[in-house]
Chains A and B, each alone.
Chain A
Amino acid sequence: MPELRDLYQEVILEHSKAPRNYKEPVHTNHRAEGYNPLCGDRFTVYLEMDGEVVKDIGFQGAGCAISKASASMMTQTVKGKTKAEAQKIFQLFHDLVTGHGHASEAELGKLAVFSGVSEFPVRVKCATLAWHTLEAALDGKQDKVSTE
């Protein structure tokens, strides 16, 4: 049986209470809004792209602990990465939280704490909302992203 602590790990709780990069960077040149109509989670992801590189990233919005922590740790992970690298990490992360993951701890880094999400299928959308929004921002889409 899945345990609550597998989902609500200390790192996740800590990020949800004190999210990192919770800001709109001054030189934002890409942004996207993500929305999960099921629970009302709503985030905006801001990017300052320097060519293909994520020079700076921030997010703002409201959501549950899982979605907020995921957004926070995502910003830490992809800052300084290229668009292609960020997309690759999202793929690995998506596989992790949906229980299809074979990625090593080295590939996932701190994001491995989200492995417990796969035991809570209804919460996968919470964990991936910010990532879907990031993907839209990287693609320069202006439309609102919805997980439904």
Chain B
Amino acid sequence: MSASVVEAVAGLDVEKIRADFPILHHQVRGHELVYLDNAATTQKPQAVIDAIVGYYENSNANIHRGVHYLSEKATEDFELTRQALQRFVNAAEAREIIFVRGTTEGINLVAQSYGRTNVGAGDEVVITAMEHHSNIVPWQILCEEKGAKLRVAPINDQGELIVEEYEKLLGPRTKLAAISHVSNALGTINAVKRMIAMAHAQGIPVLVDGAQAIPHLAVDVRDLDADFYAFSAHKMYGPTGIGALYGKAALLEAMPPYQGGGDMISSVTFEKTTWNKLPHKFEAGTPDMGGVAGWRAAIEYMNGIGVARIAAHEHDLLEYATETLGASPGVRLIGTAADKASVLSFVLEDVHPHDIGTILDQQGIAVRTGHHCAQPVMERFHIPATVRASFAVYNTRAEIDALARGIRRVGEVFA
């Protein structure tokens, strides 16, 4: 399918979409901003910003507590977002959506609550070689504490998981598999449905790190049969500091609380405290209600465009960028999996990514340079760092052309 056909099918009016994002109209160092750091965080449309402001202007009160009008309104608002998320990832029930600060906290919740209950000495947790640090370190902490072993499924030179090796690691000692849906450093889309089926065949539950998948793919947790699925608002046009953990109700019911405090109890005496029911058992303390209001606006924004159309548009950009940059002299792409989403990582011969980042920044182009919180991935490819361009719904081919020109400028400076 040619790129123009994809554009036609997608039928996205990108200029109209760009108009929804105030920050995209800023000048950076005398240039129009070219924002290609979306895997780090996406920009926010006016609707999200307005929803956060509107929450504080019209609805602010503490949730699940007061009997007064505003508290009721705030609670209703809060729960509406939970329901919107339930539909967005197709969870069976709203109480399977736990609000957390972000993907990282969601993973830590599972490691500390499910993990500390179910993982013991000699047991194993299986991850992959392409995980973000946030899906490595919580398991290392757990394994260290319990005397358990962390097993790592390898990737090939294209940055694809070697699924056969992953399957071999699963065994009677495996208590959990924790795998990323989409790699933040490489863009690889993992065959998580198949990987979950492999684990389930041996009775092993699976946590999916969905941080990079949720903005780009239609996620259906029941179709995947994921046991846990963690994701963040800020990668999908929503605010920072808020995220969700989906968990199957039966698993969450059996798990002890992650944090103690208000809202997570049904009764407290100094002798005995009983836990609240789901989802509140896992939501101690006053949450980020303004953020939750903004997140609902982000979900509505994505639904308004259509996740499939967003994905088609980003796929077109990724193909165009892969062609354009792949053909640039000296550029070596890192991560060339057959199935990828939105991320183009690369290195240049003889120029360090940090120098590239500074030179691009001088042209108003924002990319990420560094190890992307995935140092084991960098080691796997024997590089200290990469330059990463990552795309969102508001990016254009013209911006990829600007990136290519920026890379040529790097060549001139270092000529």
User: Residues of A with Cβ closer than 8 Å to B?
Assistant: 1-2, 4, 7-8, 13, 17, 38-42, 62-66, 120, 122-123, 126
Interface contacts beyond A40-B384, A41-B384, A123-B354: sample of 15 additional A-B pairs, CB < 8 Å, sorted by A: A4-B413, A7-B358, A8-B355, A8-B359, A17-B350, A39-B354, A39-B369, A40-B385, A41-B354, A42-B384, A64-B352, A64-B354, A64-B355, A65-B355, A120-B358
Please state if B358 and A39 are interface contacts (CB–CB under 8 Å). no
Please state if B353 and A4 are interface contacts (CB–CB under 8 Å). no
Residue of B nearest to A125 (CB): B354
A-B contact count (CB 8 A): 50
**Closest 4 interchain pairs by CB?**
A40-B384, A64-B352, A64-B354, A39-B354
Report the Cα distance A42→B378, complex, angstroms.
14
23 contacts between A and B (CB under 8 A): A2-B362, A4-B362, A4-B413, A7-B358, A8-B355, A8-B414, A13-B413, A13-B414, A17-B350, A39-B352, A39-B353, A39-B369, A40-B378, A40-B384, A40-B385, A41-B352, A41-B384, A63-B384, A64-B352, A64-B354, A120-B358, A123-B354, A126-B354
Smallest CB separation, B369 vs chain A (Å): 7
Smallest CB separation, A2 vs chain B (Å): 8
List of B residues within 8 angstroms of A8 by Cβ: 355, 359, 413-414
Question: Taking A39-B384, A40-B384 as contacts, is the C-beta distance between A63 and B352 under 8 angstroms?
Answer: yes
Report the Cα distance A65→B29, complex, angstroms.
22
Report the Cα distance A65→B352, complex, angstroms.
7
Question: B370 near A: Cβ within 8 Å?
Answer: yes
Report the Cα distance A110→B385, complex, angstroms.
30
Smallest CB separation, A102 vs chain B (Å): 26
Please state if B370 and A1 are interface contacts (CB–CB under 8 Å). no
List of A residues within 8 angstroms of B362 by Cβ: 2, 4
Smallest CB separation, B28 vs chain A (Å): 11
User: Residues of B with Cβ closer than 8 Å to A?
Assistant: 29-30, 350-355, 358-359, 362, 369-371, 378, 384-385, 413-414
Please state if B385 and A39 are interface contacts (CB–CB under 8 Å). yes
Say whether chain A's binding surface is mostly helix, strand, loop, or mixed.
Answer: mixed
Please state if B384 and A62 are interface contacts (CB–CB under 8 Å). yes
Report the Cα distance A66→B353, complex, angstroms.
12
Smallest CB separation, A8 vs chain B (Å): 5
List of A residues within 8 angstroms of B378 by Cβ: 40
Q: Which of A1, A4, A39 contacts B359 (CB 8 A)?
A: A4
List of B residues within 8 angstroms of A62 by Cβ: 384
List of A residues within 8 angstroms of B30 by Cβ: 1
Residue of B nearest to A65 (CB): B355
List of B residues within 8 angstroms of A66 by Cβ: 354-355
Report the Cα distance A66→B357, complex, angstroms.
13
List of B residues within 8 angstroms of A126 by Cβ: 354
List of B residues within 8 angstroms of A4 by Cβ: 358-359, 362, 413
Residue of A nearest to B386 (CB): A40
Please state if B351 and A65 are interface contacts (CB–CB under 8 Å). yes
Please state if A38 and B384 are interface contacts (CB–CB under 8 Å). no
Q: Which of B29, B358, B370, B385 contacts A123 (CB 8 A)?
A: B358
Report the Cα distance A8→B362, complex, angstroms.
12
Q: Which of A13, A64, A66 has the most CB of B within 10 A?
A: A64
Residue of A nearest to B370 (CB): A39
Smallest CB separation, A4 vs chain B (Å): 5
Q: Which of A17, A39, A62, A126 has the most CB of B within 10 A?
A: A39
List of A residues within 8 angstroms of B413 by Cβ: 4, 8, 13
Report the Cα distance A2→B353, complex, angstroms.
20
Report the Cα distance A1→B354, complex, angstroms.
20
Smallest CB separation, B387 vs chain A (Å): 11
